[in-house]
Structure 1
Amino acid sequence: MKLLAAGDLHDDHEGVRKLAEEAEKEGVDLVVINGDISNFGDLAKGMIKPFLDRNKKVAFVAGNHDVPGITEVLKEKYDILDIQNKSIIYDGVGIFGCGGANILHMNFTSDDDMFTYLSNGFRYVKAAKKKIMVTHIHPKGSMIEKFSFPGSEAVTRAIYELRPDIHICGHIHEMEGFEERMGNTRVICVGSRGKIIEV
């Protein structure tokens, strides 16, 4: 399976148009958006449709800049795949996610809740040969946090205990496109330019 993963778009309609074109050109099977598609109070108008216009299915978790309830609105309006504290199996790949961030902001999610959501989601997909964990916030103790805010202990714990093949995160704009390995997991901070990922 081939994915295009992106996040931290903050209402950048031109950026979304370019990503949708790339998704079509690359023939991706799924687009994964890991939060901050909007910017405080906006319901991401016009941010999903460019992908749908190119027949690309979108999976989504919210970020700390997205209003509470945005996932439900996008699901109802655009039939997105809701991986906000949930999981799916898509083309044989298990995908589980948790939105928000462990900082006091919109869509605050405590580390305890985050680990619970990720663990519950993992249980549903653990039989899948390949597993992808999607969060907005990055893991604590990662190289990603060295240049910015501390990450989430829950995400780090999930990486080491649940051992997904790939972890898609964002939040730290300065580390966009950065990859590292934590245990057996490939950790990718995707950012607004997006990243093509082969699973």
Structure 2
Amino acid sequence: MKILAASDLHSDKKAAEKLAKKAKKNKVDLVVLCGDILEMGSDGNGLIGPFKKEGIEVLMVHGNHDTPMDMDFLSEKYGKGVYNIHSYYKLFGDVAVLGAGGTSFGFIGSPDDDLFKSLKVNFKKSKGKKTVLLTHEPPLDTKLDNIGWTNAGSADIRKIIETYKPDLVVCGHIHETFGLTDYLGKTKIVNAGKSGVIIDI
């Protein structure tokens, strides 16, 4: 399965159009968007349409500049094939994609007990499948959260990875490390960034 992963578009329509062209050129099966798709107050026009036009399914979670309600709005606006996966999961053959959006700090969403409970259930339902976790924040103390003078990732996301050991985690949030890859144990972690990355799973 081939995916195009991206994050932190911050309502940049030209970036969305470039990503849709990249997805088509690389014949991806799925697009995943890892938060901050919108900028606060944006209506989201022109951000999902380019992917719909190419007939590519989109899964997304919110970040700290957008909300779960924004993701629900986009999902309802564009209909079938566009899904807010925060605290849910979706199966694609032998691959399960799970969502855990928001941030541990910042403007809007923070992980909470309900999210941890839903992840426990969703990972259990995904047993025997390859698992891909979509987050906004990278885990704490990795190459992906190092911003020079400190590590700014999420201890909660790290705990989730160490507990459930997904095959792949795709995140964003830390602009300084866009495009970088690291590992926690056998879990591959990718900071997708605005330009997007192609990943085979």
TM-score normalised per structure 2: 0.92
> How far is the alpha carbon of 1:89 from its aligned partner?
0.6
Alignment-derived partner of residue 76 in structure 2: 76
Alignment-derived partner of residue 13 in structure 2: 13
Distance 2:98 2:160 in 1: 11
Percent identity between the two aligned chains:
37
Structure 2 regions of 5+ residues with no counterpart? none
> How far is the alpha carbon of 1:149 from its aligned partner?
5.4
The 3-state SS of whatever aligns with 2:14 is helix
CA RMSD of the aligned region, Å?
A: 1.5
Letter matched to residue 96 of structure 1: L
The structure-2 alpha-carbon separation of the partners of 1:116 and 1:142, relative to structure 1 and needing over 3 Å to count, comes to: farther
Alignment-derived partner of residue 29 in structure 2: 29
Distance 1:136 1:123 in 2: 22
Alignment-derived partner of residue 123 in structure 2: 122
The 3-state SS of whatever aligns with 1:186 is strand
Which one of 174, 197, 200 corresponds to residue 198 of structure 1? 200
What stretches of structure 1 move > 2 A for 4+ residues in a row?
110-121
Distance 2:51 2:28 in 1: 11
Deviations 1:50-87, CA, capped at 9 Å, x for gaps = 00101111001111101440121111111212211111
Moved more, 168-177 or 71-80: 71-80
> How far is the alpha carbon of 1:166 from its aligned partner?
0.4
Aligned length: 197
Distance 1:127 1:142 in 2: 27
> How far is the alpha carbon of 1:105 from its aligned partner?
1.0
Assess if the C-alpha contact under 8 Å between 2:9 and 2:37 holds in 1: yes
TM-score normalised per structure 1: 0.93
Structure 1 regions of 5+ residues with no counterpart? none
Q: Which aligned pairs between 1:1-199 and structure 2 lie closer than 5 A? A: 1-79=1-79, 80-106=82-108, 108-110=109-111, 112-128=113-129, 130-147=130-147, 150-199=152-201
> How far is the alpha carbon of 1:127 from its aligned partner?
2.6
> How far is the alpha carbon of 1:114 from its aligned partner?
4.5
